[in-house]
Amino acid sequence: MTDISTLESLHLANIAAATDEAALEVVRVATLGKKGTISNLLKSLGAMSPEEKKVNGPAFNGLRDRVQKAIAARKGELEEAALNTRLASECVDITLPVRPEPQGTVHPVSQVFDEVVAIFADLGFSVAEGPDVEFDDYNFTKLNTPPDHPARQMQDTFYMAPQTDGSRHVLRTQTSAVQVRTMLVQKPPIRIISPGRTYRRDSDATHSPMFHQIEGLVVDEVTHLGHLKWTLEEFLKAFFEIDHAELRARPSYFPFTEPSLEWDVRCDRSGGHIKFGTGNDWLEIFGSGMVNPHVLENCGIDSKKFQGYAFGGGIDRLAMLKYGIPDIRSFFESDLRWLKAYGFTAFDIPTLDGGLSR
């Protein structure tokens, strides 16, 4: 019996001395594990006489129970201690002010993306997306611009290396490709916008080989140019934060719309910077039109039952106009000083109620 109590105090001392869960596990395996001291004692009962069993059985089992309990209790203590240490080290003092000089800012293009999405979401549009590397078919052919079509020359395209079947992917030249992607998978009514990156071989103060566009598409049983005009007016009023936006339509040509129109917005350039809503100048803002029935049919939509309108324009240009940024190339130079001047803090989240800009 002395053996048992010596053993017990030894084990209990080891358990108390375990300073983490791994050390405690070592003690558990050494005592209660398959080949542990206590397991061996219990196994030895099998070879004992009934008298010996009577004495040793309760003693060994009692030892096992007490050691088991002690291990469980120590485990609880260690877990709590570990949690407390973690809580202490990971605690965040939310009463601390934000660092006074944050280095990063939200890029004006990202900000305008969010502004545009907020405005069109309020008008019932959802956001659709497509890839930057696009099928020639979606960027051109299904948009009524087959390979030999002269309108292909309107856009200086980056072509990818030919596929094994001879077809070539392009870096999409227009977000209009997302119209196709949407119509191929969604039945009318359709009401989407698609802001995203686009690419053309062009570079000067107002053109960058990578730039951003927004596309809009509505397809339903009754849509007409009045809806289109109203939508663009509402957008411009909200975007430029003006009470009144006056639009002027000019006839134009896009292969995927019939008729095609370009819209100018009335503005005043006399004061050295642009003011919208007044003045005697006009600024081109969106290309648009009624979706060409060929495009609807190419995308599996019955053009006898449905019509649609579409519009598209440059996001960078909208950002330049709204925030007075003169050169599009500066958007992509990653100059921290420029970002500090034109960027937004992470808290400038554009919402229609809270205000779209600072």
Q: Which residues bind ligand DAH (CB under 6 A)?
A: 174, 176, 215, 254, 257, 287-289, 310-312
Judge contact between 108 and 326, C-beta under 8 A.
no
In angstroms, give the least distance from the CB of 132 to ligand DAH.
Answer: 15
C-beta closer to ligand DAH: residue 111 or 173? 173
Q: What type of residue is 211? A: F
Q: List Cβ<8 Å contacts ≥24 apart for 81-86.
A: 82/20, 82/21
In angstroms, give the least distance from the CB of 187 to ligand DAH.
Answer: 20
C-beta closer to ligand DAH: residue 125 or 311? 311
Look up residue 137 and give its two tokens: 């078919």
In angstroms, give the least distance from the CB of 108 to ligand DAH.
Answer: 21
In angstroms, give the least distance from the CB of 126 to ligand DAH.
Answer: 16
C-beta closer to ligand DAH: residue 20 or 129? 129
C-beta closer to ligand DAH: residue 38 or 296? 296
C-beta closer to ligand DAH: residue 8 or 220? 220
Q: What type of residue is 29? A: V
In angstroms, give the least distance from the CB of 257 to ligand DAH.
Answer: 4
Cβ-closest residue to ligand DAH?
312
In angstroms, give the least distance from the CB of 310 to ligand DAH.
Answer: 3
Look up residue 188 and give its two tokens: 């009318």
- The DSSP string of 251-307 is EE--TTEEEEEEEEEEEE-TTSS-EESSSSEEEEEEEEEEEPHHHHHHTT--TTT-E
C-beta closer to ligand DAH: residue 108 or 287? 287
For residue 198, give Cα distances in angstroms to 170, 269, 311. Answer: 10, 29, 15
Q: What is the dihedral of CA 276, 282, 285, 289, to 10 degrees?
A: 130
Judge contact between 172 and 130, C-beta under 8 A.
yes
List of residues 6+ apart from 71 with CB closer than 8 A:
15, 24, 27, 28, 31, 32
